[in-house]
A and B are shown apart, each in its own frame.
Chain A
Amino acid sequence: MKPPRVAAWLLSRTLPQREAEWVLGDLEEVFRARAVDSGRLPARLWYWWQTVSFSARFLRERVDGRRGRRVAVSMYGHRSVHESVGNLLRDLRYAARILLKAPGFIVAAATTLALGIGANTAIFSVVNSVLLSPLPLTEPDRLVSLCETNPAIAGFCIVSPTNVEDWKEQSRTFEAIGIARDWPFILKTDDGVVGMNGGIATPGFFEVLQAAPELGRLFVRSDLEPGNNRVIVLAHATWQGRFGSDSTIVGRTLTLDDEIYSVIGVLAADALVPQMEHFQLWTPLHFHPRDEQNRNWRGFRALGRLAPGATLAEAGSEMTTISGRLAAQFPETNEGWGVRLVPLHEQVVGHARPMLLLFLGAVGFVLLIGCANVANLLLARSTGRRRELAVRTALGANRARLIRLLLGESLLLSLLGGAAGVLLALWAVKAFVALAPGGIPRLDEVRVDSAVMMFALLVSLGTSVLFGVLPALQATALDLNRELKEGDRSASVRSLGARGVLVVSEVALALMLLIGAGLLTQSFSSLLRWQPGFDRDNLLTVWLLASSGKYQSAAEVQTVFRQATDAVESLPAVKAAGTTSAGPLFGGRETDEFQIQGRAAPALGAGPVARWYDVGPSYFNTLGIPIVRGRGFTRNDVGGTLPVAIVNESAAQRYWPGVDPLGQQLSLRGRTMTIVGVVADVRPFRPGAAIDPEIYWPQAQGPRYATFLVIRTQTEPADVVRSVQTRLQQLDPDMQVSSFSTLNQHLDRQLVSPRFNMVLLAIFAGVALVLAAVGIYGVIEYTVAQRTREMGIRLALGAQRWHIIRSVIVGGMRPVALGVGLGLVSAFALSRVLETLIFGVSATDLPTFLVVALVLSAVAALACYVPARRATKVDAIVALREE
């Protein structure tokens, strides 16, 4: 019969090595005897009890330098380590005892710290998961996004399939390169048609990602050949959701866009396709990249996997060489185009960085303010303990020892606050992920892991130093003689001293946060006030996609769209309806270079650029965009008649300054058009953003299979949706009608992210303001309490109550004013941080700075006034007698 194994193991760990052998032996001997006498279970229980008892006693012996110094020597050999561990533990134990005598203080300090540490831990876990941890892909460091760049369309990351083919052939630094893009499909099922978010990709794309199939296979080179390319790879979620995880799915056929495709595979559940996670199915490119000779068609995203050992810089210089060669070879399409390589991680998370770092900075400030408050509390406490500390010094404690004692208290407080903070963070992270706007990538990966825990621990330790050192230094700088003689009678009738420093920093930090919140709020409200130049209420948009198999040509589709417009317009609740390829806040943006006829052709890439739309005849009328000059489009502007175009005022001013644009000709995407009208600019959603030059042409002259239908309603747009749907269904049951949305809903979607930023920063700033006010209040209350006697005398001698209050406020506001000044200067210096996040207001907006400074000063003055007033209410006689 053996003693409990776990217990024996534990004992062997906790006992000093020299003792383990015989103690374990003795215990086992007794255990056997007991098992025989009184049964197995009692014996086991006894053994466990002995484990606890021995562990506790030997551990205490190990660290207890006071009684067991020599024992520690004989048992462990090293004196100094165990001695100092023993001292440390004893100091901590003592600190805990002292702290427990002031539960109110513990609660106040630990709550403040928990808020600060919790907020920091929560935001850090987001930053850690989103910005710091590598993408969950194989060797993610080697993944690179390849972009063709052109100064004319800065900011885009797009490639042409044909160019990528050449890159692949000529490059040595890439192991694989693949391309992909979105491609909407209409899936025909027994229940009707349904739109699918699809993607088209080359085999290299999945090769780069090293994605694996759950079932079947992924694309191979031969899948690109015409005749072989009607194959589908399903996303894992689609396979699970739509096809019920059918294990026999491979080989089944599906009808996409009225063509028969067969399923060849399903992506594995963990196959991550960055930034295309929501694609439901994949097909190969519909054309062989080699067959598509239009290098100008740059509508794809390219991903590459660097060859082993190749660096980003090497790949960059190689790609520059290759693209230079291609530009020389194909000047018409490639002149002016360069290549930029962006690490995939940067591409995925880069845009979220400023915002997340802003949040991290904000919570850092909140924590610092919290530290200042706790330091304040400690200062106030330590003043009350000066006599105690003086006695200790007199009895032989040196200053280092006293400081260690006081820092021990800080450490306990911060660990307590940290533990509570981590609990808070667990909850806060969930809330953050649930409320965060879609713009932040990788939110599903956010967790509180060991790295986050380590962060919380480090922050807690750092915090304890931050708020503990100053009070400890001050408290232990003792004049023994005076402290012992006078006690705390006159010990602290001094200037604010160290407390003043804390107030200054609190005010400065809170001011910076408030200014940030103020700017974001202003930016948000300016977005809210967006006036596009037409009435944005009662506008409904809907996406129409015609089934390509059903109509012979795009021109036929155009007829259907016109019928659809008429049908919807005839509804009683509808004022007007019009079609467009895109519009303000909805639809894709298409931007291209164009040529102005009759002018010398500029160097390629240096010509005029405009955003373009194709619209139906009633589009301008439906939105209410006024036609400034010339005419709008009519039903007669169809294929076969004179190709016409309308430009906006910005385009007219920029490209035809001082010239009447009417009658001028321009060439865009291979079409030459005559300008017949000028429309008013639509003011951009982001105040201050430049208004793009825009070119419109009639849909009937360049038809496509899909369009937005914009509907101006008489009543609430939501009431019209059902009847519009019915009407369109009657017209063509195969037409995909989706994405009903009002213009204001489009606007709301744009506002989600700014609103989130604003609210979060406002919360942080609010907490900072409250903490700072509490801190100031605490300091003033403390100083006033120290001056009660003096005030009593002054009152007794006939001083005006108000004079005393004023002197307190003036004294208190001095560090506040300094803090405000410091905060304003720092906020000015930090304004660059906010620049990318705010619109319609300058990051150094003077009114915001001033208003915030005033608000903060007013709050601070109030925080001074309340304790001052209370102090002067004290009866002078009582105040004097107290002493």
Chain B
Amino acid sequence: MGRESLGEFEQLVLLAIVRLGSEVYGVPVVAEIEARTGRSVSRAAVYIALRRLESKGLVASRMADPTPERGGRAKRLFRIEPAGVELLRDNRQALLSMWQDIEPVLEER
């Protein structure tokens, strides 16, 4: 312990940011999660998660690039921070070790 814990949903959001490249804003993040998981997610929940991730120091953001199709409003671009990368790595490690040897059991059912 002693480190930030990561909810499943937050993890999805963080992974979406990683998948989408260096700097991404809200719209593609939601689209990515929905496309990959096949579930529709609450946009508001994604945005809350983004704010929460930022407050935990796992992502950083900056404002940029107002465009006319946004009513002239700026985007907030998010990028993953080293702490975020590390946490994802740890999580993956933990999950993988937990999954080890039981995948065949589940397959059989």
Contacts and interface: CB of A to CB of B under 8 A. Distances in A.
Contacts, number: 73
A32 B27 CA distance: 12
Contacts of B56: 70
A47 B91 CA distance: 35
Interface string A430-459: 000000000000000000000000000000
Interface in A22-39: 22-30, 32
B55 A57 contact: no
B81 interface: no
Contacts of A23: 26, 47
Contacts of A74: 51, 54-55
A50 interface: yes
Contact of A21 (B43, B52, B63): B63
A61 B48 contact: yes
B76 A22 contact: yes
B82 interface: no
A21 B73 contact: yes
Interface residues of A, number: 27
Interface in B48-70: 48, 51-52, 54-56, 63, 66-67, 69-70
Nearest to A70: B55
A25 B73 contact: yes
Given A25-B66, A32-B69, A57 B26 contact: no
Interface string B13-34: 0000000000001110000000
Interface string A6-46: 00000000000001011111111110100000000000000
Consensus secondary structure, chain A interface: helix
The interface centre, meaning the residue of A29, A56, A71 with most chain B CB atoms within 10 A of its CB, is A29
A3 B69 CA distance: 11
A29 B44 contact: no
A22 B63 contact: yes
Contacts of A27: 43
A32 B73 CA distance: 14
B55 A73 contact: yes
Contacts of B70: 25-26, 28-29
B14 to A, nearest CB: 16
Contact of A25 (B45, B51, B74): B74
A156 interface: no
Interface string A40-80: 00000000001001101110010000001011011100000
Contacts of B52: 68, 71
Contact of B25 (A3, A22, A58): A22
B39 to A, nearest CB: 16
Nearest to A68: B52
A71 to B, nearest CB: 5
B38 interface: no
The interface centre, meaning the residue of B25, B48, B66 with most chain A CB atoms within 10 A of its CB, is B48
A2 B69 CA distance: 10
A24 to B, nearest CB: 6
B27 A71 contact: no
Contacts of A3: 71
A249 B39 CA distance: 78
B97 interface: no
B69 A29 contact: yes
B26 A26 contact: yes
B8 to A, nearest CB: 15
Contact of A26 (B27, B42, B54, B63): B27
B27 A58 contact: no
Interface string A86-120: 00000000000000000000000000000000000
Contacts of B25: 22, 26
A29 B63 contact: no
B51 A19 contact: yes
Contacts of A58: 44, 48
A2 B71 contact: yes
A61 B42 CA distance: 15
A30 B67 CA distance: 13
A24 B73 contact: yes
A22 B54 CA distance: 15
Given A22-B75, A25-B75, A28-B69, A53 B43 contact: yes
The interface centre, meaning the residue of B43, B52, B54 with most chain A CB atoms within 10 A of its CB, is B43
A24 B25 CA distance: 13
17 contacts: A24-B73, A25-B70, A25-B71, A26-B25, A26-B47, A26-B75, A28-B70, A29-B67, A29-B69, A50-B43, A58-B44, A58-B48, A61-B48, A70-B55, A71-B48, A73-B55, A74-B54
Given A24-B71, A54-B43, A58-B48, 16 more contacts: A21-B74, A22-B73, A22-B75, A23-B26, A25-B70, A25-B71, A25-B73, A28-B71, A29-B67, A30-B43, A53-B42, A53-B43, A53-B44, A71-B48, A71-B52, A75-B55
